[in-house]
Amino acid sequence: MKIVSAGKARIMELREKKKEKIRNDLEAYGSEILNSDEMREAFCQTHHTRSTVGEHTQRVAEKSLAICYALDRLHIRTDIPAVVTGSLCHDLGILGRDEKYESERECYRHHPVDSLEVARKLVDILPDKTRDIIEHHMWPTAGSKAPGSLEGIIVSAADKAAAVEDFIRGSKVKPADLKTTVRTIAERSSLSWKKKK
């Protein structure tokens, strides 16, 4: 039992260190965004049915950083400031969605450009890599072009993982229903769903 307890304690300690590192990186590179009126508003607007834009954004940033840290352990370096800024701003263009967009499809296609405009307002210097992350975060959905950097792919993947989590959060989705949930997300995102014959 002591070996199991010691192993579990070590895992818990490592998880806490990772959470602290994420908090530190978010504060170091994203404080102006985190403290903005737009981010406060993001926590008041519903997103993906069971979440808010702010909650979703927080999960995307945390997942993106966790991927970056895992890659770093493999000696693959990533641009943490670009990932923080890009992940925190990726959906801020959705704010006011009901007034700005006539349809969900229009929102999917146009909010990345609007998010980029919000980011330009919030951040003094917006490097090309960060712009690319925000502009192409909808890839591979909504007809979006693929990101031009590893960091863009990381944020895009984290966004999709967080979106799936948002859709099933709080629901009573059974494993058998997950295929239907994924199909619904794919259809809403204009991906084709092919049945196996």
Per-residue pLDDT reduced to its tens digit, 148-174: 999 999 999 999 999 888 877 755 444
Residue 195 has pLDDT above 50, yes or no: no
Look at residues 136, 156, 4, 29 and name the one whose alpha carbon lies nearest to residue 81.
29
Rounded average pLDDT over 16-26: 93
**CATH number belonging to the domain at 22-188, selected among 2.60.120.380, 3.40.640.10, 3.30.300.20, 1.10.3210.10:** 1.10.3210.10
pLDDT class for 190, splitting at 50, 70, 90?
A: very low
Give the pLDDT mean for 91-101: 90
- Of 141, 145, 162, 163, the closest CA to residue 131 belongs to 145
Higher pLDDT, 36 or 106: 36
Please check the confidence at residue 189 and state whether its pLDDT lies above 80: no
The set of residues, in sequence order, having a beta carbon less than 8 Å from that of 90 and lying 6+ positions away, is 57, 60, 112, 115, 133, 134, 137, 155, 159
Residues 6+ apart with CB under 8 A from 57: 39, 42, 87, 88, 90, 91, 92
Confidence of residue 103 (pLDDT cuts 50, 70, 90): confident
CA angle 26, 87, 178 (to 5 degrees): 115
CA–CA separation, 73 and 69 (whole Å): 6
Considering the entire predicted model, what is its pTM? Answer: 0.80
Which pLDDT score is estimated for 109? 85
Are the beta carbons of 56 and 47 closer than 8 angstroms? yes
Tens digits of per-residue pLDDT, 43-77? 998 887 778 899 999 999 999 999 999 999 999 99
**pLDDT higher than threshold 70 for residue 112:** yes
pLDDT of residue 191: 43
Task: Look at 107 and 81; give whichever has higher pLDDT.
Answer: 81
Across 1-10, 40-49, 123-132, 168-177, least confident range: 168-177
